[in-house]
Amino acid sequence: MQLFELTIKQAQEGLRKKQFSATELTMACLGQIEKRNSKLNAFLTINSDEALKEAKIVDKLIAKNETLPPWAGIPIAVKDIICTKGIRTTAGSKILDNFIPPYDATVIKKLREQHAIILGKTNLDEFAMGASTENSAFGPTRNPWNITRVPGGSSGGSAAAVAANLCIYALGSDTGGSVRQPASFCGVTGLKPTYGRVSRYGLIAMTSSMDQIGPITKTAEDAGIVLSAISGWDKYDSTSAPENKNTQKPLTNIKIGVPKEYFIEGMGQEVKRAVREAIGNLESLGMQIVEISLPHTKYALPTYYIIVPSEISANLARYDGVRFGKKAKANDILQTYFETRQRFLGDEVKRRIMLGTYTLSAGYYEAYYLKASKVRAQIKKDFDKAFSKVDVIVTPTSPTTAFKIGEKQDPLSMYLADIFTVPANLAGICGISIPCGFSDGLPIGLQILGPQFGEEKILQVAHAYEQITEWHEKKPKIQ
């Protein structure tokens, strides 16, 4: 096995047993990046000098037989929407093309304290707006399973990097499925934590009431390891939830809810088949399958596409060419705003800013944002009711496998790619996508949803599924 093929767990063991050094592990990943990145465009910025410096520090600790913190020496890729001090952070946008954050996001601070090896920053849809990474101002990322296909989005770079073994694990962010859907398209594992579980301090804000940083890994166990390191109350994030002191006992007599609203017209037959087969696998483990209903499911996507652009219109007002980012030349201050935002923001970003400006404007707020917030409450209630009957809910992650680059020209058809993932963000609950099959050589993802702070439950079910299947071990052959 090559070093870059290791999981976090295997890498941790190998370093402690001195089977290889942190430098060797880092160089193996950097070598893969050098070989593959020009074809895949997964990384926007590569941090090799700093990464090797940090690896050397870890090797010194190992030589002195010091206790290694859990993340030490393990190479990670970070979605370029998370601020890394001194390392260019673009949010996938021309407007931040030259932005170097003067501070670390809280999750990055935690990583650095443990001597994690930051390999570089990965590609994404601009400001995390999209489901394919085609909205990046720096070109799309290609799916390692088939380079004519999208890797999903918005964390496409991170998912592709993990699938192609360019890193041991990655961080992405998920507002409407942006960790789970690319994980599904790339045949890897992606976890969206409960809203408030992981600090948003230093995560470039898109939709403040839903954004969450989440791990993209090769196994469910690895996702759990990363979650324990990045989660926790943060005084710098006023939406961060207080520590959940209740350690979960492992579930017994697990009840799995299968919502009838998630098996719809127009979804891939192979996706349906693979997910049904996975549910069968879980049943063979003694889990009880319960048919449930989440009646407001069809309203989740329209609710999402009112709330999200509304919050975006407020969060992106800061890109005005004054304190940071690019600035266009103009004759007066007002024209500077108009020209800067016209020139340096992409189409999808402009679309959502304008949509949100409209839905929040005087005379329209009640009809749109307020109404959507009420439907959001109903969607949450659907999940609360369901979780009183079942432990977790299982659905497909996406109605299809990875589509072709350039295939979805109509914005609305792109929005529909997130139809199964957005409800979890609206309800603030947790969800994980794990590989469960293939269709024409393209990965299919199984989504497991859990109640707020129920990550241990979904990880337990995901891990149990991995013990009796091999989908998560499959890796693409890259020419």
Partner 1 sequence: MKLSKPQVLHISNLARIKLSSSETTKFQNQLSSILDYVNQLNEVYTKDIEPISQITGLENVTREDVVVKEQSLTQEQTLANAPEKENGYFKVKSVF
Distance, in Å, from the CA atom of 10 to the CA atom of 474, rounded to the nearest integer, reads 17
Smallest gap from Cβ 36 to partner 1, in A, equals 31
Which of 79, 109, 121, 218 is the catalytic position? 79
Residue closer to partner 1, measured from CB, 368 or 471: 368
Which of 93, 132, 136, 154 is the catalytic position? 154
Residues lying near partner 1 in the complex (CB under 8 A) are found at 98-100, 102-103, 195-196, 209-210, 235-236, 238-239, 241, 296, 298-299, 302-303, 305-306, 313, 317, 320-327, 330-339, 341-342, 345, 350-351, 353-355, 357-358, 361, 368, 370-378, 380, 411-412, 415, 427-428, 452
Which of 21, 136, 178, 313 is the catalytic position? 178
Which DSSP helix (H) or strand (E) runs through 214? strand 212-217
What order of strands is seen across the sheet that includes strand 430-439? 43-46, 117-122, 75-79, 169-174, 212-217, 189-192, 430-439, 442-450, 392-396, 255-259, 288-292
Residue closer to partner 1, measured from CB, 1 or 334: 334
Whether 284 sits among the annotated catalytic residues: the reply is: no
**Please, what sign has the CA dihedral across residues 71, 76, 79, 82?**
positive
Cα 82 to Cα 38, 177, 203, 326, 365: the distances in Å are 22, 17, 5, 19, 31
- 184 cis-preceded (ω within 30 degrees of 0): no
CA 413 to chain centre: 21
Given a contact cutoff of 8 angstroms between Cβ atoms, the answer to whether 429 and 449 are in contact is yes
Whether 158 sits among the annotated catalytic residues: the reply is: no
Given a contact cutoff of 8 angstroms between Cβ atoms, the answer to whether 123 and 44 are in contact is yes
Whether 154 sits among the annotated catalytic residues: the reply is: yes
Token couple for 67: 């206790």
Token couple for 127: 């400001």
Token couple for 180: 């789970």
Residue closer to partner 1, measured from CB, 78 or 372: 372
Distance, in Å, from the CA atom of 17 to the CA atom of 62, rounded to the nearest integer, reads 10
Token couple for 251: 């579930």
Distance, in Å, from the CA atom of 195 to the CA atom of 380, rounded to the nearest integer, reads 13
What positions carry a catalytic annotation?
A: 79, 154, 178
